[in-house]
Structure 1
Amino acid sequence: MDVTLLGTGDTTGTPTPKCGCDTCARARERDVERTRFSVHVRNERTDESLLVDASPDFRYQFLAHDVALPDAILISHIHFDHLDGLGNAYRLVDDVPVFAADETDPMTGRSVAGTVSEKYHYLDTITVEPRSPFGSFETCGFEVTLVPVEHPPLLCYGLSIEDPETGAKLSISGDTNYGITAAARDVLRNPDLLFADGIVPAAHAEAHPAGGDHPDEEGVYRTFGSKHMTVEGARALAADLDADDYRLVHLSHYIPAETAFEGDMAVDGDRFEI
C-alpha cells in the first residue's frame, strides 16, 4: 500500500493567502504546504488508486505530486474542502465510482451519497455508489469500511482501508472531535498508519466560543469547540487505537510556528509504504 498525503491542511490551508503570521512565514521558508485535505492510496498489486476526499486543490495536488489519477473516489462528508474538487473529474477520469455513506443526515435530509449525486448530477464520468457504515466493501483491491464519527452538525465518516493480501491497514479519523464511539474505534483500531484530525493545540480552546470538550485527566481538552480534535486529542487517539505510526492532518495555521512542523505533523507530499 503506497500512501501519499496530497492535502494536509484545514479549510484555508497553510500558508493561508495574504497571511503574515509566523506559521505561514515558516511554511514559505521551508517551501512546504498544507492544502485542503486529500489522501491518495495506491494498491501496488492491482495498480489501482483510491482517492479519499476530493479537495478543491485537486488539480494543483495532482500536478505537484507524482501519483496516478484515481480509479475510485471516497467522500467522507459534504464540507466543501472535502468535496468540491470532485468537479475535476470532468475530462480527466472515466467511469470512476464515488463511494459515500447512505445514511440520511437530519440536517440536510439527504445522505452524503445523495448530496454528491445531486450536486454532481452532470458528471457522466462518475457513478455514485452508496455504502452503509460498518459494512465493508471492495474497491481497488482494498477492503474499505466507513464508520460514523463526530463532526456536528453534519454526518461525517472515518474509515479503514485494508489490503486483504498483505494485511496492511490505514485508518483515517475523518473530521471529528474526540468523542468517537467504541464501535467506530474498533474498526479503526490497530492500524499500521493513522491519519488523525488535529486542528489546533488545546490552549486555543480558550478562544473558541464553544470552548473545548473531552478533557483528559489533567484537564487538557482533546476537542476544540465541537467539530475537531486538538493536537493533543489526535495524539491521544493514536495511542488509544494502538497505531504503529500516525500523522496529524487537517492542521491549521494557528499552530505556533515553533511547533507547527514537528515530526508527527504532516505536510503535503508525505509518503508511506505499509
Structure 2
Amino acid sequence: MRVTLLGTGDTTGTPTVGCDCDTCERAREEGLERTRFSIHVENERRGESLLIDFSPDFRHQFLREEVPLPDAAVVTHVHFDHFDGLGNVFRVFDSIDVYAANEVDPETGRSVAQSIVEDYYYLNVIDVRPTPPLEPVRICGFDVTLVPVEHPPLLCYGVAIEDPETGSKLSISGDTSYAVPERSREVLADPDLLLADGIVPAHLCEYHPIGGRHEDDDGVPRTFGTKHMTREGALSLAEDLNADRTRLVHVAHYYPVEEAFEDPLAVDGERYELP
C-alpha cells in the first residue's frame, strides 16, 4: 500500500491567500504547501488507486505529485474542502466509482451519497455507490470501512483501509473532535499509519469563541471548539488507537511558526509504503 498525502491543510490551506503571518511566509520561503485535504492510496499489486476526498486543489495536487488518477474514490462529508473538487472529473475521467455514506443527515435531509448525485447531476462519468457505515466494502483490492466521527453539525466519517493480502492498514480520522465513537475507534484501531485531524495546538483554544473541550487529566483540551481535534487531542487518539505511526493533517496556518513544520505535522507530498 503506497500512501501519498496530496493535501494536508485545512479549509484555507497553508500558505493562506492574502496572509502574511510568519507561518505562511515560512511556507512560501521554503516551498512548503498544505493544500486542501486529499489522500491517494495505491494498490501496487493491482495497479489501481483510491482517492479519499476530492480537494478543490485536485488539479494542482495531481500535477504536482504525478500520481495515477484514481480508479475509485471515497467522499467523507460535504464540506467544500473535501467535496467540491468533484468537478475536476469533467473531461478527465471516462468513469469513476465514488463511494459515500448512505445514511441521511438530519441537518441536510440528504446522505453524502445523495448530495453527490444531486449536486453533481451533470457529471455522468460519476457512478455513486451508497455505502453503509461500519460495513467494509472491497475497493481497488482494499477493504474500506466508513466510520462515523463527530464533526457537528454535519455527519462525517473517518476511513479504515486494509489490505487483505498483506494486512497493512491505514486509518484516517476524518474531520472530527476527540469524541470519536467507541465502535469507530475499534475499526480504526491498530493502524500502521494514522492520519489524524490536528488543526491547531491546544494552547490556541483560548482564542476560540467557545474554547476547548474534552480535556485530558492535566486539563489540556483535546478538541478545538466542537469540530476538530487539537494537536494534543490527535496524539491522544493515536495512543488510544495504538497507531504504529501518526501524521497530523487538516493543519491550519495558525500554528506558531516555530511549531508549524515540526513532527508529527504533515506537509503535502509525503509518501508512505505500508508493509
Q: Using the TM superposition, give the Cα deviation of residue 203 of structure 1 relative to its aligned residue in structure 2, in angstroms.
A: 1.1
Alignment correspondent of 2:85: 85
CA distance in 2, matches of 1:209, 1:160: 32
Describe how 1:158-237 pairs up with structure 2 within 5 A: 158-237=158-237
Equivalent position amino acid for 1:158 in 2: G
Q: Which residue of 1 aligns with 2:32?
A: 32
Distance 1:263 1:134 in 2: 31
Amino acid at match of 1:60: H
Cα deviations across residues 158-182 of structure 1 (Å, max 9, x unaligned)? Answer: 0100000010100000000000011
| Counterpart for residue 152 of structure 1 | 152
Structure 1 position 211, deviation (Å): 1.1
Contact 1:70 1:93 in 2 (8 A): no
CA RMSD, Structure 1 to Structure 2 (Å): 0.6
Q: CA offsets, 1:71-104, max 9 Å, x none? A: 0010000000000000100111122100000010
Residue of structure 1 in register with 2:65 after alignment: 65
Q: Give 1:267's aligned amino acid.
A: V
Q: Is the 8 A contact 1:3 1:42 kept in 2?
A: yes
The residue matched to 1:174 in structure 2 has which SS?
A: coil
- For structure 2, the 5+ residue unaligned runs are none
Gaps of 5+ in 1: none
Q: Secondary structure at the match of 2:232?
A: helix
Deviates more, 1:87-96 or 1:43-52: 87-96
% identity of equivalent residues: 64
1:265 is aligned to 2:235: no
Counterpart secondary structure, 1:200: coil
TM-score (norm 2): 0.99
* TM-score normalized with structure 1 length: 0.99
Deviation string, structure 1 residues 182-235 (Cα, Å, up to 9, x no partner): 100000000000000000011111111121100000000000000000011011
Residue identity matched to 2:192: D
Corresponding pairs, count: 274
Instruction: Decide whether the 8 Å contact of 1:101 with 1:133 is kept in 2.
Output: yes
- How far apart, CA to CA, are the structure 2 residues paired with 1:185 and 1:99? 21
SS of 1:159's partner is strand
Shift in Å, 1:108: 0.3
Q: CA-to-partner distance for each residue in 1:94-126, whole Å, 9 max, x for gaps? A: 221000000100000000001011001111111
Q: For 1:60, what is the secondary structure of its paired residue?
A: helix
Q: Distance in 1 between matches of 2:203 and 2:260?
A: 14
Which position in structure 2 is the counterpart of 1:13? 13
CA–CA distance in 1 between the matches of 2:272 and 2:178? 25
Counterpart position of 1:133: 133
- In structure 1, C-alpha distance between the alignment counterparts of 2:70 and 2:125, rounded to whole Å: 12
CA distance in 1, matches of 2:77, 2:263: 28
Structure 1: how far apart are the matches of 2:90 and 2:12?
A: 24
Question: What does residue 105 of structure 2 align with?
Answer: 105
Alpha-carbon distance between aligned partners in 2 of 1:21 and 1:39, rounded to the nearest angstrom? 27
Q: Measure the CA separation in 1 of the matches of 2:151 and 2:264.
A: 23
For 2:34 and 2:52, the matched residues in 1 are separated by: 16
Distance 1:139 1:184 in 2: 19
Distance of 1:215 and 1:29 partners within structure 2 = 36
Residue number in structure 2 paired with 1:43: 43
Moved over 3 A (4+): none
TM-superposed deviation, 1:48: 0.3
State the alpha-carbon separation in 2 of the partners of residues 120 and 70 from structure 1: 18
Cα distance in 2 for residues equivalent to 1:230 and 1:259: 13
